[in-house]
Amino acid sequence: MSGAGGARALGYAALAALAALPFFLSSYFQHLAVQIVIWSLVYTGWALMGRFRLTSLGHGAFLGVGAYVPTLLWNNYGVTPWLGIPAAMALAILLAMVVGYPCFRLKVVGHYFALVTLALGQVVLLVIVAAREITGGSLGMTPRAVGHSWYALQLPDKASFYAVALGAWLLGIAAWHWVERGMQRPALEAIAEDEEAAAAVGIDVLKEKLRITALSTGLTALGGALYAQYLMYLNPESMSGVGISLQIVFAAIAGGMYSMFGPTVGACLHHRAQRGAARAVRHAFRRRRQYDLRRAACRVHHLHAARHRGLGRADGGAAEAAGPGHARGPGGRITLDSLRRF
Amino acid sequence: MDIYLLEAIINGLLLGGVLALLSLGLNLIFGVIDVVWIVYAEIVMSAMYGVYWLYSYYHWPLLLACVGAIGIGALIGVLVHVVVIQPILGSAPINQLLATGGLLFFLQSLATLLFGTDYRNLGIRLPVIEIGDIFISFSRLIAFFMALVGAVLLYLFLAKTYLGTAIRAIAQDREIMGLMGVNERRIYVITSAIGGGLAGLAACLLVLQYDVHPFIGLTFGPITFMVCVLGGLGNMIGGFIAAFIISQIIAVGGYYFPVEVAEVLAFVFFIVMILFRPQGILGK
C-alpha cells in the first residue's frame, strides 16, 4: 500500500516538475520541449497499436488528417480549432475504421497489414498534394494568423503551448493507463498471440481491434493538429506519407513500445539524438560547411530561376535536366564559375 | 481512339517495364529468404548515386559506371543480409521488416551527409522518339527492354544453372534443403547479392530519367512494394503482371485526372486487392 502510495506521490511530483519545466528553460529548449511532448503523444498513440502487433506503417495518414482538417476549417470557414481538432480526430478515426474494418474482418495481419497501412499513408499524402487548390500542394500552407488568440489556438509564448501539449500528452498516457488496467490488454495480448484461439475463448476480436485502432489513430490526429498549430506551417511531406510514418514507428520502438513511457523516451531520444548527431557531424565535417554555404547560395539561385520559369514540374524531373541547369557545371556539379555569374 | 489516350497507354506500358524491373530483386529476396527488404528503394537510391558519382566525378564511361553501380547494389545487398538479416533470421517477419526499415533511415541520412539534399542528374538528355503524334521517352524504352532482358536472364539463371536450382529449392522448402547438403547461408548471401545487383540495374535506368536525391526512395518505394505484393510476394510472373496493371492505372488515370489522383487510384486498388486476395494475383 505504501509502495503504491509512494509511486503515486512520485508521479505527481514528476508531473509538477514537468509542468514547471518551461519556467527554467531558455526559449530554444522550450521549443525542444514542446516538440518532444507533442511527438511523445503521437508515438504513444502509435505504440497503443504497435504493442499488440498491429504494426501500422501508415500513421502519417492520421497525422496528416489531424494537421490539415483544423487548418482548412479555420482558414476557409473560420471554425475554431477547438472544434476543428475534435472534428479532425473523428475524421481520422472514421478513416481508420473504413480501412481497419475490412482488414480485421478479412484477417489481414503481419506484413500484409503493414503494407496496407503503408499504402494508406501514401494515399493521404497524394490526396493532400492533389487538392492543391485548397491545401497549397507540396508547398504547404499556414493557418491564417490572427496574432495572440486562445480562440484560434495561436498562443503568444511557447510556455502556454507547452501547457496545452502537456495536457494532450497526459490524455495519451491516461489512455495507455486505461488500456493497461482494463480487460482490453489481456484480450488484445491474446489476439496478438493467436487470433483463432482468442476468438475461441469468446473474445470479440474485431471489436477489440477496432477499439484500440480508434484510440490510437485519434491520439495521433490530436498530435498532428497540435504540431500544425504550434509550427503554424504544414506541408504534406512532413505531415503524411512514408517518411514520417516510418519515423513514428522507429522512434516508438527505439523508446520501447511495451511500456507506458517508452514512446516518450523514444521522442526524447529521437530529438536529442538528431541534434547531437547534427552537432557531431558539423564538427567532423567542419570543412564541408563552406561548401554548404555555396550550396545554399546555389539553391537560392535555383529558386530564383524556378520562379521565372514556373515551379510546375509535371514530368517527374526530366525538365530539371534542361531546367535550372545553368547554375551547375557539366554533370550537375556546382562550379565556382556558375556561382560567380550568380 | 484518342491519340493522347493511346500515348498514355504506351507510356504506361513503358512505366510498367520500370516497375517490373524494380520489383524483380525485391521479389527474389522475398521468395527465397522470406524477408521484406523495406530498404530496397534506398539501395536503388544508393546505386543511383553510385552511377552519378562514378560518371560525373571520376568520369568513367557511362556503361562502366552502370556496371560499377550494379556492383555497389550487390555489395549493399550482401551487407544488408550479413549485418542485419542473418542475426534475426528466425524472428517474426514483421521484426525483420522493421530492422531493414532502420537501415532505410541510415542510408537516407548517409546520402544526405555525403551528397547533400541537392537534386543531381547526369546531365544526359536522351531523345524523345516521335512516332506519328505519339511521344515516347527513349530512356523509358531502354528501361522497358532492360526489364525484359533482366527477367529473362534471371529466369534462365534460376532454371538452368546448378546454383539457380539450389535457390529455387531453398525457396520451396528451407528446412529440408539444409539436410540435403545445400549450404543455406551461402545461398542466402548469393541471393542477396543478386537482389542488390538487380536494384543496381534498376538504378542505372532510373538515373537516366530522374534526378537523384536522398529521399527519392520514398517516391517509388511504396509503388514497388505494391507491385510485389499485388503479384504475390515472391512470384516473379505475378509481379510482372501487377507492374503493368499498376502502371496502366497510373497512366490512363493520369489521362483523365491529375497524376496524384491516378496514383491514389492505384493505391486504393492495391488496398482493395489485398483485402480480397492477399496472396496476390498469381499467389498460391
B137:A318 CB<8 A = yes
A246:B105 CB<8 A = yes
Residues of A within 8 A of B49 (CB-CB) are none
Task: Specify whether the CB–CB gap between B171 and B190 falls below 8 A.
Answer: no
* Among the partner residues A115, A116, A320, nearest to B121 by beta-carbon distance: A320
- On the 0-12 / 13-18 / 19+ scale of CB atoms within 10 A, A195 is middle
| Residue A175 CB neighbour total at 10 angstroms | 19
Angle between helices B40-52 and B62-79 (to 10 degrees): 150
* Among the partner residues A129, A330, A333, nearest to B260 by beta-carbon distance: A129
- Tell me what pLDDT residue B134 has: 79
Q: How confident is the model at residue B283 (pLDDT cuts 50, 70, 90)?
A: low
A320:B267 CB<8 A = no
Task: Specify whether the CB–CB gap between A113 and A103 falls below 8 A.
Answer: yes
Residues of B within 8 A of A317 (CB-CB) are 119, 121, 209-211
Residues of B within 8 A of A330 (CB-CB) are 123
Longest dimension (CA), chain B: 61
B104 touches chain A (CB under 8 A): yes
Of the candidates B183, B282, B187, which has an alpha carbon nearest to the alpha carbon of residue B242? B282
SS3 B135: strand
In this prediction the pTM is 0.82
Range B213-227 average pLDDT: 88
- Tell me what pLDDT residue B18 has: 85
Q: How far is CA B10 from CA B65, B131, B138, in A?
A: 29, 12, 12
pLDDT tens-digit series, residues A90-142: 999 999 999 999 999 888 888 789 889 999 999 999 999 999 889 988 888 99
Q: Which three cell numbers stand for residue A59?
A: 500513421
Residues of B within 8 A of A303 (CB-CB) are none
- Tell me what pLDDT residue B1 has: 65
Range B207-230 average pLDDT: 88
Q: DSSP letters of A103-123?
A: HHHTT--HHHHHHHHHHHHHH
Domains located in chain A, CATH noted: 26-284 (1.10.3470), 288-341 (no CATH)
B131 touches chain A (CB under 8 A): no
| Residue A101 CB neighbour total at 10 angstroms | 15
pLDDT tens-digit series, residues B42-61: 999 999 999 999 999 899 99
- Tell me what pLDDT residue B39 has: 92
- Tell me what pLDDT residue A294 has: 47
List, as ranges, residues 111-130 from B with C-beta within 8 Å of A. Answer: 113, 116, 118-125
Give the span between the Cα atoms of A242 and A100, in whole angstroms: 18
- Region for residue A238 given its phi and psi (left: phi exceeds 0; alpha: psi -120 to 50; beta: otherwise): alpha
Task: Specify whether the CB–CB gap between A206 and A104 falls below 8 A.
Answer: yes
A177 touches chain B (CB under 8 A): no
Give the span between the Cα atoms of A123 and B226, in whole angstroms: 12
> For residue B128, what is the enclosing H or E element?
strand B128-131
- What is the block-wise mean pLDDT of chain A (342 residues), using blocks of 10 residues? 73 85 84 92 94 92 96 93 96 96 88 88 93 88 87 86 93 93 89 89 92 96 95 90 89 87 88 70 54 48 41 35 37 39 34
| Residue B93 or B14, more confident | B14
pLDDT tens-digit series, residues B242-282: 999 999 999 999 889 888 899 999 999 998 888 888 777 77
| Residue A163 CB neighbour total at 10 angstroms | 14
Range B28-46 average pLDDT: 89
| Angle CA A97–B248–B11, to nearest 5 | 140
Give the span between the Cα atoms of A332 and B116, in whole angstroms: 13
Query: Mean pLDDT over all residues of chain A?
Result: 81
Predicted ipTM of the assembly: 0.84
A5 touches chain B (CB under 8 A): no
pLDDT tens-digit series, residues A263-273: 998 888 887 77
A320 touches chain B (CB under 8 A): yes
In terms of CA atoms, which chain B residue is nearest residue A330? B123
- Tell me what pLDDT residue A335 has: 40
Q: Which three cell numbers stand for residue A133?
A: 487548390
Q: Which amino acid is at A316?
A: G
A130:B137 CB<8 A = no
Task: Specify whether the CB–CB gap between A205 and A212 falls below 8 A.
Answer: no
| Residue B65 or B90, more confident | B65
Boundaries of every domain in chain B:
3-212
CA distance A329 to chain B (A): 9
Q: Which three cell numbers stand for residue A278?
A: 547534427
List, as ranges, residues 158-187 from B with C-beta within 8 Å of A. Answer: none
Q: Which three cell numbers stand for residue A248?
A: 513514428
- Tell me what pLDDT residue A328 has: 37
- Tell me what pLDDT residue A27 has: 83
Of the candidates B7, B209, B59, B61, which has an alpha carbon nearest to the alpha carbon of residue B124? B209
Question: Could you give the residue ranges of the DSSP H alpha helices within chain A?
Answer: 2-20, 27-50, 60-77, 81-105, 110-130, 132-135, 158-181, 184-193, 195-200, 205-231, 236-239, 242-255, 262-284, 288-309, 318-322, 336-341
In terms of CA atoms, which chain B residue is nearest residue A124? B264
Q: Which residues, in sequence order, are CB contacts of B176 under 8 Å at separation 6+?
A: none
In terms of CA atoms, which chain B residue is nearest residue A280? B113
pLDDT tens-digit series, residues B189-216: 999 999 999 999 999 988 888 889 998 9
List, as ranges, residues 30-49 from B with C-beta within 8 Å of A. Answer: 36
- Tell me what pLDDT residue A285 has: 56
| Residue B66 CB neighbour total at 10 angstroms | 23
